[in-house]
Structures are given as C-alpha cells and as structure tokens.
Amino acid sequence: MVNETVKEIFELKKQKNAVILAHNYQREEIQNIADFVGDSLELSRKAVELECDIIVFCGVHFMAETASILNPEKTVLLPEIDAGCPMADMIDARKLTKWASQFPDTPVIAYVNTTAEVKALSYACCTSANAPEIVKAVPFEKILFVPDKNLADWVKRKVPEKEIIPWDGFCPTHHMIKKDDVIRSKELYPNALVVVHPECRPEVIDLADHVASTSGMVRFAKSSSAKEFLIGTETGLIYRLKKENPDKNFYPLKKTMICPNMKVTTLESVLTALRDMKHIIKVPEDIRLKAKEAIERMFTLYKPKN
Ligand code: 13P
Ligand code: SF4
C-alpha cells in the first residue's frame, strides 16, 4: 500500500514536472521521497534554483509562502493547508504596525517564520542559519526583531554592539525545554555534546556546546569527533542525523519535542496534493513584491560559504 502510494507520487511528479521539498522535521517517509531535505534557508534558496513547474512543499505554511513569493511563475503546493507555525501566528501586520509605531525610524528584521504580510513590512528577513550575520550586516544600530524572543536573545549575544528590541513570541516546541531537562539528560549521557536550536530559551543556550539551525546541526555532527549528541530541536531531525551518521548516537533532549504542524503531512496528503493540485499557495502581488524585497535583501546581505 505504502509502496503503491510512493509509486503513484513518483509517476505524478514526473508527469507534472514537480519537485518535492521537505523540511528536516518532516516524517521519515516524507524525507525519503523528497528531492531535497533541508533547513528553512536551504529550502528557500533551493526554491529559486529549481527548474520545474510545481513545487510540493512538505513543511509549514510560511515556508511554502516563501517559495511562492520567490517563484511566482511556479505552482507551489502545501499538501496540508492547516500546517501552520504557531510562532509565526504570534504577530500579524496590524500588531506589528502598532508596535513599530512606538519606535520611529527603527527597521524590522523578520525571522522567516512570519507571514508574507509581516515580511512585507520588514527591512530584511533572516533564518536561524544567518540571523546574527544579517543583524550585523544591516546598516542600523537599533532594530526591531520579530517574532522570536529567544532567537533575538541569541543574536544579542553574538552581536552585542547592536540594540535589538524583540517581539514577545516563541516556538512552543523549543520553548518547552528547560534547564532541568538539559541537566537530567547530561547526567544520563555524560559524554554527549549538547547541540540546540537558537529558538531554545536562553537558560538552555547557556548549557549548550553548540547552537545551530537544523542543517547546521547536521553539519556539526558530521564534522565533530564526538560520538554522542543530545539534540535540542524537533525530534524529526534525529532521523536525518542518524541516517547521515550511522556510527554516531543521537538522543533528544526531550522526547516530547514534536511540532504537530510538521507531522501532519503524510504520503497520502502528498499524493492528493499532486493529483488534485492542492493547496495552491499564492500571495497578493502588492504584498509579494514587498515581502520578496525583504527576503532577497537577506540573500544579498549574507552569502553562506556552502
Ligand atoms: P531551521 O531554519 O533551523 O530549519 O528551523 C525552522 C524552524 O521552524 C525551527 O523550528
Ligand atoms: Fe514553528 Fe516551532 Fe513548528 Fe518550527 S518547530 S514550525 S518554529 S512551531
């Protein structure tokens, strides 16, 4: 049955000239059928490079929206329309406009985990893979940072010379890890390196050996001589970490670190998406153009080495 579904997906993909992109948190079976698996920065860059008619985005809404903003001529499909990001939903254009009016002439840096409307009001975007570099590179001493207060705190540590005013948002999945979880896990695995995502609380960052985006964690695990790692991010990443490092051991800092939105996409929903061409993600043109400017400024301000 699963094999039948996979076969049908591959047939439709070929017939319709489609490409499947999957975020690192997706279910194992989705990662296995994807043409490319990566973090938000890699997926947004990939979306621009692709030569195809359709992108099936296995991730959450803002990711598919970013792909659509950058590729208006391609059809971007989000298999599960309710796959949202609760952190992105913690700010909208109305709230941002009201808040920003208290800080005249202070530009907004928006984490990509935001809606197109919020990006359209921002000077530049950033992801967890480049946030400190972007904040360092913008020609302003004082910025507003939305929506993640934990990521903002981490950036402040890396770029102390700038004044960063954060919005009070957070990711429920990463915010759930507390200092005690790290202490208990380290007692269980004393030789393991603690690797966490910058969406974690500052008290968790304090105890980490390394802080990185999801794909940054994969690169770190590959290059490290350590054999054991405690991973502080959505548990979906552990599948990729194990697959690409079969000689190393990875343990979640907390087993319940699951983003329900990242798990709703199934093989069945990918098949339905391709067969019935749904759900098409499109952004109104005036908002798209402004949001595109903020995303493209991110690409201009910081060019990663790999
Ligand atoms: P990455 O950009 O590190 O993949 O993270 C995206 C995300 O949603 C983290 O929760
Ligand atoms: Fe959003 Fe957090 Fe889920 Fe990432 S893990 S998509 S930030 S809710």
Q: 9 and 135 share a domain?
A: no
Say if 216 falls within a structural domain. Answer: yes
How far is ligand 1, taken at its centre, from the CA of residue 23, in Å? 8
- Determine if ligand 2 sits within 6 Å of the CB of residue 173: yes
Is 113 a pocket residue for ligand 2 (Cβ < 6 Å)? yes
Q: Are residues 184 and 217 in the same domain?
A: yes
- Establish whether residue 127 lines the binding site of ligand 2, counting it when its CB lies within 6 angstroms of any ligand atom: no
State the total domains in the chain: 3
Atom 6 of ligand 1 has which residue's CA nearest to it? 40
Q: What pLDDT, on a 0 to 100 scale, did the predictor assign at position 305?
A: 66
Asked if the structure places residue 306 within a domain, the reply is no
Atom of ligand 2 nearest to the CA of 59: 6
Mark whether 184 and 130 lie in a shared domain: no
Q: What is the CB < 6 Å shell around ligand 1?
A: 24, 39-40, 113, 127-129, 171, 199, 213-214
How many CA atoms lie within 13 Å of 235's alpha carbon, on the beta-carbon side?
12
For residue 276, the model assigns a pLDDT of: 98
- Per-residue pLDDT at 2: 80
Which residue's alpha carbon is nearest to atom 7 within ligand 2? 171
pLDDT tens for the chain, residues 1 to 306: 789 999 999 999 999 999 999 999 999 999 999 999 999 989 998 989 999 999 999 999 999 999 999 999 999 999 999 999 999 999 999 999 999 999 999 999 999 999 999 999 999 999 999 999 999 999 999 999 999 999 999 999 999 999 999 999 999 999 999 999 999 999 999 999 999 999 999 999 999 999 999 999 999 999 999 999 999 999 999 999 999 999 999 999 999 999 999 999 999 999 999 999 999 999 999 999 999 999 999 999 988 765
User: Are 100 and 232 in a shared domain?
Assistant: no
77 lines ligand 2 (CB under 6 A): no
135 lines ligand 2 (CB under 6 A): no
Output the pLDDT for position 175. Answer: 97
Residue 188: give its domain's CATH number.
3.40.50.10800
The answer to whether 230 touches 186, Cβ cutoff 8 Å, is: yes
Is pTM, for the whole model, over 0.95? yes
Range of the domain at 99: 88-170+288-301
**Looking at the domain assignment, is residue 273 inside a domain?**
yes
* Same domain flag for 210 and 238: yes
For residues 117 and 59, state if they share a domain.
Answer: no
